[in-house]
């Protein structure tokens, strides 16, 4: 059984609020780059960048980050002893930049830890801030989001499903009973 907790309009409002918070926190967008964690984080990052362009009349570079090989909670092939970051469409340096890392759901913190390791392999940013659409709690690592669209308390028996129109045909967040 699924329960919709965020509809398309609420998602748009949450992303707009996150965008304003990013501008305020950084006192503008100078030196800012955005990295979306594949898959849905990339689309959310592109939406935030689009809104930043509307508000600040400047383009912020957006990249896609695949953290699969940096995960410590999935099995890797024995040949993957030297993991390399798999990044597509990143044509800018992160060294000395203010990186906004974007993901759909913050849960245990392990994806974010993996993303930070991947970013550090690309260079040394001035700072890294985390923007998430949903924070569901249940952290296993001391990681917190700087910008949160919606806090959704959930049990570990529930699953949070984020849908984005670019790949799912609709924008929504659902809680699904397992």
Query: Do the beta carbons of residue 48 and residue 36 sit within 8 Å?
Result: no
2-177 carries CATH number 3.40.50.2020? yes
Region 120-125: mean pLDDT is 94
Helix H or strand E encompassing 148:
strand 147-151
Q: Does the pLDDT value for residue 89 go beyond 80? A: no
Query: Do the beta carbons of residue 168 and residue 161 sit within 8 Å?
Result: no
Q: Does the pLDDT value for residue 81 go beyond 90? A: no
Q: What is the pLDDT of residue 178?
A: 84
Query: Do the beta carbons of residue 46 and residue 61 sit within 8 Å?
Result: no
Q: What is the pLDDT of residue 77?
A: 58
Q: Kindly report the three-state secondary structure assignment for every residue of 52-89.
A: HHHHHCCCCCEEEEECHHHCCCCCCCCCCCCCCCEEEC
Q: Does the pLDDT value for residue 174 go beyond 80? A: yes
Query: Do the beta carbons of residue 135 and residue 153 sit within 8 Å?
Result: no
Give CA–CA dist 26/147, Å, rounded: 12
Q: Where are the domains of the chain?
A: 2-177
Q: What is the pLDDT of residue 117?
A: 94
With CA atoms as reference, report the closest residue to 139 among 104, 113, 116, 107: 107
Q: What is the pLDDT of residue 110?
A: 96
Q: What is the pLDDT of residue 72?
A: 83
pTM of the model: 0.92
Cis peptide before 60 (omega within 30 of 0): no
Q: Residues 126-154: pLDDT tens digits?
A: 999 999 999 999 999 999 999 999 999 99
SS3 121: helix
Average pLDDT for the chain: 92
User: Phi and psi of 173, rounded to 5°?
Assistant: -130, 130
Region 100-116: mean pLDDT is 97
């Amino acid at each position: 059984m699924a329960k919709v907790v965020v509809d398309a309009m609420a998602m748009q409002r949450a992303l707009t609020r996150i965008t304003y918070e990013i501008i305020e926190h950084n006192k503008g967008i100078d030196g800012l780059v955005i990295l979306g964690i594949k898959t849905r984080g990339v689309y959310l990052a592109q939406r935030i960048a689009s809104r930043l362009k509307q508000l600040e009349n400047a383009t912020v570079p957006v990249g896609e980050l695949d953290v699969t090989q940096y995960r410590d909670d999935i099995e890797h092939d024995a040949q993957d002893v030297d993991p390399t970051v798999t990044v597509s469409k990143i044509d800018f340096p992160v060294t000395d930049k203010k990186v906004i890392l974007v993901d759909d759901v913050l849960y245990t913190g392990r994806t974010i830890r993996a993303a930070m390791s991947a970013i550090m392999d690309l260079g040394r940013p001035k700072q890294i801030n985390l923007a998430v659409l949903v924070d569901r709690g249940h952290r296993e690592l001391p990681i917190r989001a700087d910008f949160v669209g919606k806090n959704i308390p959930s049990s570990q028996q529930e699953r949070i499903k984020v849908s984005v129109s670019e790949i799912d045909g609709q924008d929504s967040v659902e809680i699904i009973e397992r």
